[in-house]
Amino acid sequence: MTHINIEIPDELHKKIKIESIKKNSTIKELIVKTLEEETKE
Domain boundaries, position 41: 8-41
Closest CA to 17 of 3, 4, 31: 31
Confidence of residue 2 (pLDDT cuts 50, 70, 90): very high
Report if residue 17 sits inside a domain.
yes
DSSP-derived secondary structure for 1-41:
---------HHHHHHHHHHHHHTT--HHHHHHHHHHHHT--
Report if residue 3 sits inside a domain.
no
Structural domain total, the chain: 1
Task: Encode pLDDT of 18-30 as tens digits.
Answer: 999 999 999 999 9
CA–chain centroid gap for 36, Å, is 11
Report if residue 1 sits inside a domain.
no
Report if residue 18 sits inside a domain.
yes
Report if residue 28 sits inside a domain.
yes
Contact 20, 29 (CB under 8 A): yes
Instruction: Read off the pTM.
Output: 0.81
Q: Is the pLDDT of residue 41 over 90?
A: no
Q: Is the pLDDT of residue 13 over 90?
A: yes
Report if residue 32 sits inside a domain.
yes
Report if residue 2 sits inside a domain.
no
